[in-house]
Chains A and B, each alone.
Chain A
Amino acid sequence: MATLILRRTCLTLLAVSAAASPALAEDTIKVGALLAVTGPAAFLGSPEVKTLQMLVEEANARGGLGGKKVQLVVKDTGGSPEKAISFARQLIEEEKVFAIIGPSTSGETMAVKNLAEEGKTILLSCAAAEVIVNPVAKHVFNTPQKDRYAVVKIFQHMKKLGVTRIGLLSSNTGFGKAGKEQVERLAPEYGVQIAVNDVYDKAATDLTAEVTKLKAANVQALVNWSIEPAQAIVIKNARQLGLAIPIFQSHGFGNIQYVKAAGAAAEGVIFPAGRLLVAGGLSDQNPQKAVLLAYKKAYEARYGEEVSTFGGHAYDAFHILVKAVEQAGLDREKARAAIENMKGFVGTAGVFNLSPADHNGLDLGAFELLTVKDRRFVVLDR
């Protein structure tokens, strides 16, 4: 029997290795897309991969990158750090990609951060957590706005409203955790007391008990930090309990499907977000307007679904890479240095000014406070 196993294993391996020999052409440049296209984080990875496929096609139609055709190597991690590690190694060691765009979540990014650093491969993460770029790893960057600034935006507005006592809810994901930590860190600076600080399951189906806890603590505002459908459930439950306090959400709320899901309860929710969601309403002087409208139009025409800020992070990552290659050519180290010193790049998330000490490059101005009015996102009037 054991011989049989041996034979089968060998045959399988041979068949597999034969099937997998990549057609390596000299005139292509490979870019890895290490994204959670399916699985629990698919709402991030799906628009990200669609964006990249669209951009790569456009780039190749224009003659490629540095004179070479771009080949996008998509690896679907399904949101699993273990697969992210395996696939990052494949992309770095085997495919020898020029750069990797992704992963979609911060947990996966932290799992592959050292791999990219050791493999000297540019990694442009689409996840926001501060730990990705702090401490700085030479080859690791991220394109979403920093959680810290989202929190600052919220606290600034609270100060205006005179809110000093809040309830904080967050989901047990990397996104929720990163936001929770920033709220806890910055609250004293703004004289805000966190009276309730609870973490709920990302697959939560109802949050009435958690909201009851807030009601009992007499908080003046609710801050919820999550990226799952639970963020629409929590505002519904709060309104059902008659909680009339202001509700603040994170930039994870920037997807119109959550507004549709929460219906009447979504009205008046305040959250910080990039300007992609309100691109049409921006003044013509805004430097981002042209970029945002171009991306929105192209994406929505091609895929027939509304653009989300998450796809925008992949958009920014790809364009930062393109710009770096235009400046420094196809030398990986030079391109890395070009990214690190890139100034004034206008992306969907904001205007990027990177530096060796700041591998994100976005500042407080990248965020705008939005609210929901008549089931649509609008800029909050102040």
Chain B
Amino acid sequence: MKSGSARYLQVSVFAAATVAVQLTAQVSGKAYFLTQLTMTAYATLVVVGLSLLMGYAGQISLGHAGFFALGGYTAAALTTWDLGPRRGQAIVAALARLHVLVLRPDPYGADVLTVHPWAAFACAVALTAAVAFVIGIPVLKLTGHYLAMATLGIGTILYSVALGTPSLGAADGISGVPPFQLVPGLQIGGSPSIRVQNYYLAWALVALSMLLLLNLIHSRVGRALRAIHAAEDAASAMGIDTARFKLRTFVLSAVLAAVAGVFSTHFNGGIGPSEASIMKSVKYLAIVAVGGMGSLWGSLTASAVLNFLSLRGYFGSFDDAVFGGILILVMLFSPDGILELDLRAALRSLLRKPRPTGES
């Protein structure tokens, strides 16, 4: 078992790597790589949350893109919904006085009265937590393929709501989402002038989440989760409230996805229904599998590399094909994740002919 200081060391090394990447990019004249690296960070946040759920609570989820979209859409809808025409209403006036609403210029020069991004952020997190909690109670009673089906269903519902609701922009999604002023001087947004700070903000969020998750894993809760994963009945017999622990992990990982959704929506200036699609959920799940379930660092690495390469467009029209190929190769030769790859053993097993009948 790793000691507490080892965790902090890991996160420090990770932080150093983040700085090193930024400096390398800057020095080699590739500063614009930071844009895709920032987008990568937000996808990575979803992946590490899912990795916790799958690796430690043993729960598969084919609906995580739905939670990402739930967060993103809530933020996008609230920060672009112009309440100016309703200023006369008491509730709108009261919210404006409380600074929950802000007056800002839209890209075409007119002033709009919209919800403050912090308030929208709070709503997004609260809503996602509530939704995950309510659906988690029945869903987490299922196991195996039935659980996969139920989470797929949840994802499908969230996707078709995003795609079918005119006030959420239907197929076009929501665009024109303003930057998110965190504190004076720090802003989540896509403008090239704040590229460096956005890179650091995004990866700092990932680092903080990693610290939180690592501490959780090594706490009493984490031990309980591992016990559940290893043998749920035994854990239950030992007096662990398995349902409660699984539910909490589910909510936590959904909230991480929602936070990623909110920030990435402000960074990209919008969100569309494809962010909620089943294919997107499958992609998150596959990246966790490539990184190794329960290996948070492995998932992080897999997500960072795969998302970055995909967002840069290195594979052109073969993006999906390369992704599929990587999935198969990793699962065939290193089923515990890419970091566990033992090249020699893999080669040996590749060269060894399968025995004609039966198996160990």
B170 and chain A: residue at smallest CB distance: A177
Chain B residues whose CB sits within 8 angstroms of the CB of A38 once the complex forms: 317, 319-320
How distant is B202 from chain A, measured CB to nearest CB, in Å?
Answer: 14
Indicate if the CB atoms of B317 and A76 lie closer than 8 Å.
yes
How distant is A334 from chain B, measured CB to nearest CB, in Å?
Answer: 24
Chain A residues whose CB sits within 8 angstroms of the CB of B190 once the complex forms: 85, 89, 115
B32: contacting residue among A89, A110, A115, A137, CB under 8 A: A89
How distant is A128 from chain B, measured CB to nearest CB, in Å?
Answer: 12
How distant is B13 from chain A, measured CB to nearest CB, in Å?
Answer: 4
Chain B residues whose CB sits within 8 angstroms of the CB of A14 once the complex forms: 24
A74 and chain B: residue at smallest CB distance: B316
A123 within 8 A of B: no
Indicate if the CB atoms of A114 and B301 lie closer than 8 Å.
no
Chain A residues whose CB sits within 8 angstroms of the CB of B187 once the complex forms: none
Indicate if the CB atoms of A86 and B172 lie closer than 8 Å.
no
Q: A75-B313, A86-B36, A110-B175 are in contact. Are A13 and B274 (CB under 8 A)?
A: no
B39: contacting residue among A12, A76, A82, CB under 8 A: A82
B192 within 8 A of A: yes
Name B340-355 residues within 8 Å CB distance of A. Answer: none
Which of B15-23, B56-64, B251-259 lies at the binding interface?
B15-23
Indicate if the CB atoms of B339 and A114 lie closer than 8 Å.
no
Chain A residues whose CB sits within 8 angstroms of the CB of B35 once the complex forms: 86, 89-90, 93
Indicate if the CB atoms of B319 and A76 lie closer than 8 Å.
yes
A353 within 8 A of B: no
Indicate if the CB atoms of B172 and A174 lie closer than 8 Å.
yes
Chain A residues whose CB sits within 8 angstroms of the CB of B311 once the complex forms: 82-83, 86
Which of B46-54, B117-125, B265-273, B324-332 lies at the binding interface?
B265-273
Q: A9-B21, A86-B35 are in contact. Are A2 and B9 (CB under 8 A)?
A: yes
Give the docked Cα–Cα distance between A336 and B314 (Å). Answer: 30
Per-position 1/0 for B78-119, Cβ under 8 A of A: 000000000000000000000000000001100000000000
Number of A-B contacts (CB under 8 A): 144
Chain B residues whose CB sits within 8 angstroms of the CB of A89 once the complex forms: 32, 35, 190
Indicate if the CB atoms of A90 and B173 lie closer than 8 Å.
no
Extra contacts besides A79-B274, A90-B36 (7): CB < 8 Å: A5-B13, A5-B300, A10-B21, A82-B274, A93-B32, A94-B32, A117-B107
- The interface centre, meaning the residue of A5, A78, A83 with most chain B CB atoms within 10 A of its CB, is A5
Indicate if the CB atoms of A172 and B297 lie closer than 8 Å.
no
How distant is B33 from chain A, measured CB to nearest CB, in Å?
Answer: 7
How distant is B323 from chain A, measured CB to nearest CB, in Å?
Answer: 11
A176 and chain B: residue at smallest CB distance: B171
A12: contacting residue among B9, B14, B305, B319, CB under 8 A: B305
Chain A residues whose CB sits within 8 angstroms of the CB of B268 once the complex forms: 82, 85, 111
Q: A16-B314, A75-B313 are in contact. Are A6 and B16 (CB under 8 A)?
A: yes
B9 and chain A: residue at smallest CB distance: A2
Give the docked Cα–Cα distance between A106 and B301 (Å). Answer: 34
A113 within 8 A of B: yes
B191 within 8 A of A: yes
B312 within 8 A of A: yes
How many positions in chain A have a CB within 8 Å of any CB in the partner chain? 52
Give the docked Cα–Cα distance between A9 and B107 (Å). Answer: 38
A3 within 8 A of B: yes
- Is the contact region of chain A dominated by helix, strand, or loop, or is it mixed? helix
Give the docked Cα–Cα distance between A13 and B27 (Å). Answer: 13
- The interface centre, meaning the residue of B35, B171, B301 with most chain A CB atoms within 10 A of its CB, is B171
B164 within 8 A of A: yes
Chain A residues whose CB sits within 8 angstroms of the CB of B167 once the complex forms: none
A17 within 8 A of B: yes
Indicate if the CB atoms of A81 and B21 lie closer than 8 Å.
no
Indicate if the CB atoms of B172 and A177 lie closer than 8 Å.
yes
Name A1-53 residues within 8 Å CB distance of B. Answer: 1-6, 8-10, 12-14, 16-17, 20, 37-38
Q: A76-B319, A135-B108, A172-B170 are in contact. Are A114 and B176 (CB under 8 A)?
A: yes
B148 within 8 A of A: no
A346 within 8 A of B: no
Give the docked Cα–Cα distance between A83 and B309 (Å). Answer: 11
Indicate if the CB atoms of B339 and A4 lie closer than 8 Å.
yes
| 7 residue pairs, one from A and one from B, having the closest CB atoms | A6-B17, A81-B272, A2-B10, A2-B13, A110-B175, A86-B311, A76-B317
A129 within 8 A of B: yes
Chain A residues whose CB sits within 8 angstroms of the CB of B310 once the complex forms: 83
How distant is A172 from chain B, measured CB to nearest CB, in Å?
Answer: 5
Per-position 1/0 for A53-78, Cβ under 8 A of B: 00000000000000000000011101
Give the docked Cα–Cα distance between A137 and B175 (Å). Answer: 14
A16: contacting residue among B173, B274, B312, CB under 8 A: B312
Indicate if the CB atoms of A2 and B297 lie closer than 8 Å.
yes
Indicate if the CB atoms of A90 and B312 lie closer than 8 Å.
yes
B28 within 8 A of A: yes
Indicate if the CB atoms of A5 and B301 lie closer than 8 Å.
yes
A141 within 8 A of B: no
B14: contacting residue among A6, A17, A75, CB under 8 A: A6
A118 within 8 A of B: yes
Give the docked Cα–Cα distance between A93 and B42 (Å). Answer: 21
B285 within 8 A of A: no
B17: contacting residue among A9, A79, A80, A113, CB under 8 A: A9
Indicate if the CB atoms of A81 and B13 lie closer than 8 Å.
no
How distant is A366 from chain B, measured CB to nearest CB, in Å?
Answer: 23
A8: contacting residue among B107, B301, B320, CB under 8 A: B301
Give the docked Cα–Cα distance between A6 and B14 (Å). Answer: 7
Chain A residues whose CB sits within 8 angstroms of the CB of B166 once the complex forms: 177
How distant is B195 from chain A, measured CB to nearest CB, in Å?
Answer: 9
Per-position 1/0 for A81-106, Cβ under 8 A of B: 11101110110011000000000001
B173: contacting residue among A5, A107, A137, CB under 8 A: A107
